[in-house]
Structures are given as structure tokens and as C-alpha cells.
Amino acid sequence: MYLRNFWYIAAMPQEIGRSLLQRFILDEAILFYRKEDGTPVAMKDACPHRNMPLSEGVLIGDTVQCAYHGLEYDSSGVCTKIPGQVNIPPRCRLQTYPLVEKWRWLWIWMGDAEKADPADIPDFHWNDDPDWTPTGGHFYIKCNYSLLVDNLLDLSHETFVHPTTIGNAAVAETPVRTEHEENEVRVLRQINGQPAPPLYVALKDFTGDIDRTQNITWTPPTNIVIESRSMPSGSNDPDMILEYRVLNGITPATAGSTHHFWATPRNFAPEEEVTEAFHEGSVRAFSEDVGILEKQQTMIDHESAANGGAPKWVDINADQGGLLARREFKRLYDLQQA
């Protein structure tokens, strides 16, 4: 189940260059490269002749030559050469996809091209804002995207999965409040007068208890912004505020694999060594999630195959946000199909 008329993050700009890259997005193989003038290109990664992936071919100027029988395609997907043949059938062309660079990511439009409006790219401005210092990366996870959405909408897992960085007992023990409207789900957690988790102590030298705000916003199809703000309990010293965002662009690759584009821009201590500590802590925590999600998917696949259907889960209070996001996603999917 994919929502097509939305922008998805396809890549970090530095991932796309003068070599051919294949990436699956919404179950379609897409070929990425940059033209000689630097413009990024996205087109279907399958030669219309016999389905050879063009990403296995070579780039000659702005033209891609197929590795099998040498057919050539320009950057608009039009076949410009068939060796040993003059006539080029009009059907011999590749679908191209709108691609826009914004907030230090490349966004791809997988729906009706005439509906692609860059103004609809979600607001991830913290990743490209002089007041915020960004760091980020990309994980390829062998799980369905919905498991990652659930994971980011229920941060009670931090207590058990991330005890060496952002988790401690206070997170799971503090219930959340959930709000929702059309196209938006919010999960709000306010932790007051509790110890700081290890990464926060390392970054900010918190010695006593802190107040910690964790507000999560989901917007369709699969965008999640986590607003995180902590300070010593009872203090209003602006120098002691630890504030950052966790920006998550979740792009389904296939039914069983997902691209997680993440960034953790912060508005304090722009120094390089703090960026390194923040990056390292984020990668450690997200890698722990990857371990959980892939094990979870393996078990779901096994049980689905053995019982001829998806396992029936028990829901708990902490699942509220994830369940609302699924419901909103389904509403939009039904509209799309109609």
C-alpha cells in the first residue's frame, strides 16, 4: 500500500554524482545520476528492450548506454541510439520522475507528474537553517516502512532499546497524550523532574534532574518530526537548554525494505566536536532500532507464511499514535484508489 502523490526523500545530495545509482522506491527500480551541469536525474531503471537495469551500464556525457545490447537513452529518457538500426520505436523510452533539491535532501515525486508541486515538500527547514547545526544520514532497513513509523511514534522503546544514549526509565514510565486531525497526528510527552539519559549528560553536563519535552508530529505519507527540548528542572538558563529535532523521511523501498533518511539538527553548541558526538550518538541509537525492526520483520514474515495471514497484535496505550497514523494513511489510500 503506497501513497503516490507525495514527495519522498530519494537521496542525500552527495549520494548522487557522475556514477549510476540504483535505488528502489515504492517498489520501482529508479536510476539516479547527475548530468554534466550537475542537474540530478531520476528515471526508471529498466531497459525497455529486455529489462536490463541501466544502472549496470555506462554514462557517456549525459547519455546512458545499456550494458546488454548498447541502446542509449538521453536524460529525458528518450532512446537516441539502437546499434545497427535506424528506426527507433517511440515506445522505446524510459519514464522520468520529478526531482527537487530542498532542505539538503533530494525529493522524488512518484505520482502523477502534473500534480508535482515543490510547495508540497514537507517542512524540514531545520536541516537547512543558519540557526541550526545539522547532521544526518541514511539507513537501508530490511523491514516494511510501517514498522519504522510505529517505532518513531512510540518512543517508550527508548528505555529498553537505547539505554546508553537517549533512553532511561523516565521515558517509558511517562504516558503520552495524543492529538490528531486530518493529515496530522501528534504524540506529546512531558517528563518532569527526572534524571537525564546518558547522551544528554555527555552533551550538556546535566548533574541533577531535568524536564524533558518529546513532541512527535506525523504527516502523510511517512514524515515524522520529533521536537526534543530538555533543561535542568526549575532552571530557565538559556545556556542549559538542550534542543534538537529528529527529522525522519521514511521512504518505502519495497514491501520488505525501507530507506530511513534522518537528521538531528540542534540549536546549541555548533562546534564540530559536538556535531561528531551528536552524530555518533544518533547512529548508535538508530542502529539499535535497525536490529529490532529487522528481527521483528523476520518473525512477522515467518508467522504470516506459517498461518496464512498477518499476526494479530495486542495494542497498548503507547500505540495510540501509530494506530492513528495507520488510520489516517488508510483514509488517504482509499481516496487515492477511488
Binding mask 63-92 for ligand FES (x = CB under 6 A): ---x-xx-x---------------------
Beta strands in 121-209 (DSSP E): 136-141, 177-181, 184-194
* 203 lines the binding site for ligand FES (CB under 6 A): no
| Least distance CB 58 / ligand FES (angstroms) | 12
**Is 283 within 8 Å of 137 (Cβ atoms)?**
yes
Q: By beta-carbon distance, which residue lies closest to ligand FES?
A: 47
Residues 224-243 within binding reach of Fe ion (CB under 5 A) = none
Closer to ligand FES by CB, 79 or 152: give it: 79
In angstroms, the CA 84 to CA 316 distance is: 65
CB neighbour burial string for 128-157, b if at least 16 within 10 angstroms, e if fewer = eeeebbbbbeebebebbbbbbbbbbbbbbb
Using the contact rule CB under 5 A, the part of the chain among 5-13, 16-24, 44-52, 281-289 near Fe ion is 281-289
268 binds, among ligand FES, Fe ion, none (CB under 5 to 8 A by kind): none
Q: By beta-carbon distance, which residue lies closest to Fe ion?
A: 289
* 94 lines the binding site for ligand FES (CB under 6 A): no
* 289 lines the binding site for Fe ion (CB under 5 A): yes
- The secondary structure of 247-294 as a DSSP string is EEEEEEEETTEEEEEEE--BSS---HHHHHHHHHHHHHHHHHHHHHHH
Closer to ligand FES by CB, 4 or 49: give it: 49
- The secondary structure of 212-253 as a DSSP string is EEEEEEEETTTEEEEEEEEEETT---GGG-EEEEEEEEEEEE
| Least distance CB 43 / ligand FES (angstroms) | 14
Applying CB under 6 A, among 4, 35, 49, 284 the residue interacting with ligand FES is 49
Q: Is the peptide bond before 175 cis (omega within 30 degrees of 0)?
A: no
* 150 lines the binding site for Fe ion (CB under 5 A): no
Closer to Fe ion by CB, 260 or 266: give it: 260
| Least distance CB 64 / ligand FES (angstroms) | 10
Question: All 3 cell numbers of residue 38?
Answer: 550537475
- Helix, coil or strand: residue 109: strand
Query: What are the C-alpha distances in Å from 187 to residues 5, 130, 149, 184, 217?
Result: 25, 28, 12, 10, 7
* 46 lines the binding site for ligand FES (CB under 6 A): no
- Write phi, then psi, for 233 (nearest 5 degrees): -60, 130
Applying CB under 6 A, among 1, 18, 50, 327 the residue interacting with ligand FES is 50
* 331 lines the binding site for ligand FES (CB under 6 A): no
Q: 79-81 and 99-102 as β-strands: parallel, antiparallel, unpaired?
A: unpaired
Angle 272-307/145-153 helices, nearest 10 degrees? 120
Please list, in sequence order, all residues whose beta carbon lies within 8 angstroms of the beta carbon of residue 338, skipping any fewer than 6 positions away.
none
| Least distance CB 66 / ligand FES (angstroms) | 3
Using the contact rule CB under 6 A, the part of the chain among 33-41, 49-57, 238-246, 257-265 near ligand FES is 49-57
Using the contact rule CB under 6 A, the part of the chain among 26-34, 62-70, 208-216, 223-231 near ligand FES is 62-70
* 154 lines the binding site for Fe ion (CB under 5 A): no
Binding residues (CB under 5 A) for Fe ion: these are 289
State the residues that interact with ligand FES by CB under 6 A.
47, 49-50, 52, 66, 68-69, 71
